[in-house]
Structure 1
Amino acid sequence: MRLHWHRRDLRLADNRGLADAPERPIGLFVFDDDVLTHAGTPRVAFMLDALEALREAYRARGSELLVRRGDPAAVVPETAVGYDAEIVSWNRDYSGLARERDDRVREALDTTDTTPQQFHDAICHEPGSITTNAGDPYSVYTYFWKKWRDREKDDPRSVPTLAETAREDEPVPSLSALGFDEPDADVPAAGPDAARRLLDSFLESEVCRYEEARDYPAQECTSRLSPHLKFGTIGIREVDARVRELLDETAGERRESVESFRSQLAWREFYAHVLYFNPEVVAANYKTYPNPIEWENDETLLGAWKRGETGYPIVDAGMRQLREEAFMHNRVRMIVASFLTKDLLIDWRRGYAHFREFLVDHDTANDNGGWQWAASTGTDAQPYFRIFNPMTQGERYDPDAEYIKTYVPELGDTDPAVIHTWHERTPIERANAAPDYPEPIVEHSERRERALEMFERARDGDGE
């Protein structure tokens, strides 16, 4: 028998470790308190739903998903010995902490008669397999994408024959049992069935207008697959294979749109490679400046940003969507991140920590990459002197203020022209238009100049 240790692969289909290792498997999931310490409630709620679906899939095939809690370095070997497992398989994770954990588990298994086997599964191409001609990992996405796009992909894996075993009485724990309250947000359904419904719906319609509509949050032209890719309730090879099939059937602008969506899968993988080779970026700038960046970190401004009470409508809509849905549209993520770092002059790590707490799809590599891009400290980053104007961004990507009004009801009866010039209105005009909506907490043009000065002090003496 084999024990397959699930982590970010909460599915049976297209699971390389589950399908490629010898011996028939049963499943194991371990709640690691070191991981739960950094987990947000929406993410844990989604994961528990996915685990219930995974256990039912095992049981439907006469097998079982074992659920345990504790240090994996102790729990995994103990469970393997208890079930006389000859092999323990698992799929690799790419953060520094995950690799350290896996090393400890492998060392612990070496003291037993159980053989550890690790597999590459979460992304299409293993870190180190796509490099520059000099053999170095890429720090610029465009060149990575060109090689990723043309590199042959593995086929999705079928569900293997599982080992038959009796059901166990240990239930999947509740949120409260893990120390979490019920989430305030509406957490989406988890599990492979939910993921495939989203993929089917997206590929049947929205993907063919993705290129033109993806930046407009009111149009909802995104796949919403991100939490499923995060937790592996659908395999990346399955998604990419479906997208490639559609590319072969599509031409012209529609094909370009499908290709644009596929490039987002490559972005996800690019950031995973960056994290693998630079694990320190979780807490440190990828791009260093000669001098420290003098973030101001005003707690009052940070609190207003978190609550969605900045007086900048598109920013507040995004922050409130985050609270209500544990999700935020990608264009708006860039806007609110730029606003925090360039208008409020607050360290990107503060924003990253807030997203980690509230996003259902929080992914260390992706979120870190996005935040550092916005803060001008990351790979391929937004140059520090290109600073989003939040009012212009709102007018451009939500011209009718449809998205804004959805999440900022105080502005529900306000003319879009007024909303998009909110910062230019007098206090009396703002009070008459929307008396319950807050005044702007900063003046964008003034803060833009301060941001430029802050970065110029940081880069002073770098020779440029």
Structure 2
Amino acid sequence: MQLHWHRRDIRAADNHGLSKAAADGPVAPIFVFDTDVLAHASPPRVRYLLDALDELQSWYRTQGSDLLVATGDPRETIPAVAEALDAERVVWNVDYSGLAKERDAAVRLALDEVDVERETVHDAIFHEPGSITTNAGDPYSVYTYFWKKWRKREKPSPYPEPSELVGAETLESVVKQVDDVGIGSLPTIDSLGFEELSADILTAGTDAARERLESFCEDAIFRYAEDRDYPTRNATSHLSTDLKFGTIGIREVYEATEAAAERAESEAEAESVEEFQSQLAWREFYTHVLYFNPSVVTENFKEYEQGIQWRDDEEELDAWKAGETGYPIVDAGMRQLLAEGYMHNRVRMIVASFLTKDLLCDWREGYAHFREYLSDHDTANDNGGWQWAASTGTDAQPYFRIFNPMTQGERYDPDGEYIKQYVPELEAVTSNTIHEWHELSELERERLAPEYPEPIVDHSERREMALEMFENARGDD
């Protein structure tokens, strides 16, 4: 008998660890709400996780089994359940964050104490850290070279669902034996210490993820390269939260994109599919960066940027968080985040640039805000994205390339459709006027949209201040 510990793999299909465990006999599944991990969680992600677990538990029950659920310390829960099951071993998929590595090392020691074997496998990414390196054997810090090797590596096929599961009656008897380690029913968001969600997040679970993948591969993937930067063109996959929680496997996603590539009717469509695949490689690249550089969660990746003197203006930061900066595309993005627990990727770059280059605010403030409100927050990806925008990270945007928020709005939301959706104060304003908002007089802005705020900073002035700030930090470099 085997025990599979679900973590960021809330699915039965294409689950490497679950499939590995099931290959050697009946497998029992468990999920533990780790209190240390919950300390870094937020309502959007907890809500999605609970809904996804509910679907997964229902699947196990249709198979005559069940999903054990516990809340507490996995160092106590996992060994206790393994012993009660008389399990030969515990199998789980690797998580690459610093917190996860510390937790997993402690669980391994706890299993050693009760003489239960354990095995960890790679699942969330194709190629484990250290398997794609420079010719000198070092991890890459430039994405382009990483991508060239990533795209040529063979990708495994999806793993099958488990064929043999431990029966529900056996699991029920186990629960009675370990009633002191937090085993129980699926908790509520309130019982976990979080407020009920106000944001309208995507439907959770494997079924919904597969629907999103199928829909994307029928149409948008073939115009992804051309349309993905335009928030109103519906050209992205919306799979980021699914991949973050593992409600769908990366191999299943890649296989679907390969099938789409075979259906491509032109070279442009085939290249568009590859462009989306390159985004999967970006996720993996940032995971490798985090694995080899765990300090990037709190420190600049580039050493010479450690001396940046960020501004600390609480009022400007609060205006940014609330979507009240007076820069329409920025405010639309920040309000989408609050309303949906999500933000279009191009807009994420725009609002991140605005925080770090216009407000001259530390990227860590933005990262913390995103971590609180994004349903798809992933430490590696979000940190990589924020440090890219702040020009402090690996393969980052050069510090002298500073997004003009008005130009970005005009380019990627020319009709103002996205802006008007999230900034209703501007609904009656023409798109041309919206994109010239910063150039209007105070009286004109008051007449056109009296409820919408004035621009809180002058972009041209702040651009010069940002250049000076970075040049001072670089010194003679």
Do both share a fold (TM > 0.5)? yes
Q: Which residue of 1 aligns with 2:260?
A: 246
Q: 1: distance between equivalents of 2:202 and 2:346?
A: 20
Output one character per residue of 1:327-386: Cα deviation in whole Å (capped at 9) or x when no partner: 000000000000000000110000000000000000000000000000000010000011
Equivalent of 2:409 in 384, 391, 394: 394
Q: CA deviation at 1:288?
A: 1.6
1:234 paired to 2:236: no
Q: Which residue of 2 aligns with 1:113?
A: 115
Q: CA deviation at 1:122?
A: 0.5
Cα contact 2:5–2:92 (8 A) shared by 1: yes
Q: What secondary structure is seen at the aligned counterpart in 2 of 1:217?
A: coil
**Where in structure 2 are there 5+ consecutive unaligned residues?**
176-183
- Matching of residues 9-408 of structure 1 within 5 Å: 9-21=9-21, 22-161=24-163, 162-166=165-169, 168=172, 170-250=184-264, 251-289=266-304, 292-408=307-423
Output one character per residue of 1:83-105: Cα deviation in whole Å (capped at 9) or x when no partner: 22111100000111111110000
Q: What secondary structure is seen at the aligned counterpart in 1 of 2:282?
A: helix
Name the % identity.
Answer: 65
RMSD: 1.0
Q: 2: distance between equivalents of 1:163 and 1:171?
A: 18
Cα contact 2:416–2:431 (8 A) shared by 1: yes
Q: What secondary structure is seen at the aligned counterpart in 2 of 1:309?
A: coil
Q: CA deviation at 1:291?
A: 5.5
Cα contact 1:187–1:326 (8 A) shared by 2: yes
Q: What secondary structure is seen at the aligned counterpart in 2 of 1:94?
A: coil
Q: What secondary structure is seen at the aligned counterpart in 2 of 1:116?
A: strand
Output one character per residue of 1:180-218: Cα deviation in whole Å (capped at 9) or x when no partner: 111110021111100000000010111111111100001
Q: CA deviation at 1:163?
A: 2.0
What count of residue pairs does the alignment treat as equivalent? 462
Q: 2: distance between equivalents of 1:77 and 1:375?
A: 43
Cα contact 1:307–1:320 (8 A) shared by 2: yes
Q: CA deviation at 1:248?
A: 2.4
One-letter amino acid of the structure 2 residue matched with residue 165 of structure 1? A
Q: CA deviation at 1:245?
A: 1.7
Q: 1: distance between equivalents of 2:111 and 2:102?
A: 14
Q: What secondary structure is seen at the aligned counterpart in 2 of 1:354?
A: helix
Q: 1: distance between equivalents of 2:312 and 2:46?
A: 29
Q: CA deviation at 1:261?
A: 0.8
Q: 2: distance between equivalents of 1:358 and 1:201?
A: 26
1:435 paired to 2:450: yes
Cα contact 2:304–2:473 (8 A) shared by 1: yes
Q: 2: distance between equivalents of 1:253 and 1:324?
A: 35
Cα contact 1:291–1:457 (8 A) shared by 2: no
Q: 2: distance between equivalents of 1:122 and 1:310?
A: 37
Q: Which residue of 1 aligns with 2:179?
A: none
TM-score by length of 1: 0.98
Q: What secondary structure is seen at the aligned counterpart in 1 of 2:28?
A: strand
Q: 1: distance between equivalents of 2:354 and 2:306?
A: 22
Q: 2: distance between equivalents of 1:338 and 1:282?
A: 18
**Where in structure 1 are there 5+ consecutive unaligned residues?**
none
Deviates more, 1:15-24 or 1:425-434: 15-24
Q: 2: distance between equivalents of 1:164 and 1:155?
A: 28
One-letter amino acid of the structure 1 residue matched with residue 149 of structure 2? K
Question: 1:291 and 1:45, CA in 2 relative to 1: closer, same or farther beyond 3 A?
Answer: closer
Deviates more, 1:76-85 or 1:260-269: 76-85
Q: CA deviation at 1:249?
A: 2.7
Cα contact 1:11–1:54 (8 A) shared by 2: yes
Runs ≥4 in structure 1, deviation > 3 angstroms?
Answer: none
Cα contact 1:40–1:358 (8 A) shared by 2: yes
Q: 2: distance between equivalents of 1:290 and 1:8?
A: 33
Q: 2: distance between equivalents of 1:345 and 1:133?
A: 38
Output one character per residue of 1:410-431: Cα deviation in whole Å (capped at 9) or x when no partner: 0000011110010010000111
Cα contact 1:86–1:113 (8 A) shared by 2: no
One-letter amino acid of the structure 1 residue matched with residue 41 of structure 2? A
One-letter amino acid of the structure 2 residue matched with residue 320 of structure 1? R
Q: CA deviation at 1:247?
A: 1.3
Output one character per residue of 1:242-263: Cα deviation in whole Å (capped at 9) or x when no partner: 1112212323111111111111
Cα contact 2:305–2:470 (8 A) shared by 1: no
One-letter amino acid of the structure 2 residue matched with residue 186 of structure 1? D
Q: 1: distance between equivalents of 2:305 and 2:145?
A: 27
Output one character per residue of 1:20-51: Cα deviation in whole Å (capped at 9) or x when no partner: 13222111111111111111100000000000
TM-score by length of 2: 0.95
Q: 2: distance between equivalents of 1:201 and 1:48?
A: 24
One-letter amino acid of the structure 1 residue matched with residue 9 of structure 2? D
Cα contact 2:310–2:361 (8 A) shared by 1: yes
Deviates more, 1:71-80 or 1:368-377: 71-80
One-letter amino acid of the structure 1 residue matched with residue 446 of structure 2? A
Deviates more, 1:94-103 or 1:242-251: 242-251
Question: 1:290 and 1:253, CA in 2 relative to 1: closer, same or farther beyond 3 A?
Answer: closer
Output one character per residue of 1:281-340: Cα deviation in whole Å (capped at 9) or x when no partner: 111111121661100121100000000000000000000000001000000000000000
Question: 1:140 and 1:290, CA in 2 relative to 1: closer, same or farther beyond 3 A?
Answer: closer
One-letter amino acid of the structure 2 residue matched with residue 142 of structure 1? T
Cα contact 1:340–1:346 (8 A) shared by 2: yes
Q: 2: distance between equivalents of 1:33 and 1:18?
A: 23
Equivalent of 2:463 in 413, 436, 448: 448
Q: 2: distance between equivalents of 1:20 and 1:402?
A: 48
